[in-house]
Amino acid sequence: MTVMVMNQQAQALKCDLCHHRAEGPACVAACPTQALRVMVPAELEALCAQKRQRLALA
């Protein structure tokens, strides 16, 4: 979240995933530990299903 001062009032702006950048969000590109990723909902659901499967077998 970014706080910008406009007309002497602070305004919080929500993340827009850097929609103006062709290469994706700047935070993902700048993360030194590569802990951030952008995923489509189907990809996230597949990872959740895999995790549920692993936990069920444990």
Instruction: Please give the backbone phi and psi of residue 6, each rounded to the nearest 5 degrees, phi first.
Output: -135, 125
| Whether the Cβ atoms of residue 23 and residue 13 lie closer than 8 Å to each other | no
For the cut 80, the answer to whether the pLDDT of residue 4 exceeds it is no
**pLDDT value at residue 42:** 97
Task: Please state the domain count of the chain.
Answer: 1
Tell me: the pLDDT tens digits for 5-55?
666 777 788 999 999 999 999 999 999 999 999 999 999 999 999 999 999
**pLDDT value at residue 40:** 93
Rounded CA-CA distance 15/24 in Å is: 12
Rounded CA-CA distance 39/42 in Å is: 8
Range(s) of the domain holding residue 23 = 2-57
For the cut 80, the answer to whether the pLDDT of residue 2 exceeds it is no
Residue recorded with tokens 């995790």: 51
Q: Report residue 11 CA to chain centroid gap.
A: 21
- What's at 4, amino acid-wise? M
